[in-house]
Amino acid sequence: MSETRRVAGEDEKPAPKAPHKGIVREYFETIVVAVLFLLFARSFVFMQSKIPTESMLDTLLVGDYILVNRFLYGAPGDAPVRWMGQRPIERGDVVVFRFPEDPDVDFVKRVIGLPGDVVEMKRGVVSINGRPLEEKYVIPENDESMQPFGPVTVPPDSYFAMGDNRDNSRDSRAWGVVSRSLIKGRAFLIWFSYREDPNDHLRTGLQRPVSIVRKLLNPGLVRPERIFSRIQ
């Protein structure tokens, strides 16, 4: 009885080799993936912003660079997903939102009144539904001359927002409540801080690079004690 044996290599063809990627292509693909990841993170997870005014003293100072959690509250109109770490907006949260009178401008304020709350202020004391609100974040000299306000009822799906520097803050007392659809996220971390002029954000044209160079040449104006501090 004859036996036929296949000799290795007679009928088998070598597996095709994967085409070699050039170093330029490899770098290009890496950069594209990194950019896409950053765009996704900036759109749905985190964003950064800078504090340009004194309306949130002493919680936030002019020149504080902050990180904002855009994922925490979920999408407007949808219920937060608890098992994913999301939660509803709470009283006391420092939030970043599109200014109701100019949606192209971002504002940073603290949530004081929730939907359905009755907000009132007398002699520098904020009351929610008839009860005084304890506000450790407001220093006494920032609310001594605060004018009476209210009572007003916060509409559904809206929030009453105020600055911690009550005597120097244009907030819901002036332009009304903030719709949930305008809120971008919760400010949770100061990642950098630099002593800046309150009008630095108004500089345009050649004034912008001049401002950046000035910061680079004056590292002594950095506030290291505020870097990577949590926003309460």
- What CATH number is given to the structural domain containing 103? 2.10.109.10
109, 158, 172, 193: the active-site residue: 109
- Dist CA 95 CA 49 (whole Å): 11
Mean confidence (pLDDT) of the chain? 82
**Within-domain flag for 32:** no
In a domain, 38, yes or no: no
Residue 217 within any structural domain of the chain: yes
To the query of whether residue 55 is one of the catalytic residues in this protein, the response is: yes
Whether residue 173 is contained in a domain is answered as yes
Q: Report the pLDDT averaged over residues 153-178.
A: 94
First-last CA distance in the chain = 89
Whether 191 is in a domain gets the answer: yes
Q: How far apart are CA 215 and CA 73, in angstroms?
A: 35
pTM score, whole prediction: 0.77
- Catalytic residue of the set 55, 158, 169, 193: 55
Query: Could you confirm whether 109 is annotated as catalytic?
Result: yes
Q: What per-residue confidence (pLDDT) applies to 209?
A: 74
Q: Is pLDDT larger for residue 43 or for residue 108? A: 108
Query: Within a domain: residue 4?
Result: no
Give the domain extent around 226.
45-117+156-230
- Cβ 134 vs Cβ 161: under 8 Å: no
pLDDT in tens, 84-139: 888 999 999 999 999 999 989 999 999 999 999 999 998 888 999 999 999 999 88
| 197 falls within a domain | yes
- Closest to 112 (Cα-Cα) out of 165, 46, 54, 159: 159
Dihedral sign, Cα of residue 113, residue 199, residue 230, residue 140: negative
Number of domain units in the chain: 1
Residue 36 domain-assigned (yes or no): no
Cα–Cα dist 31/140, whole Å: 50
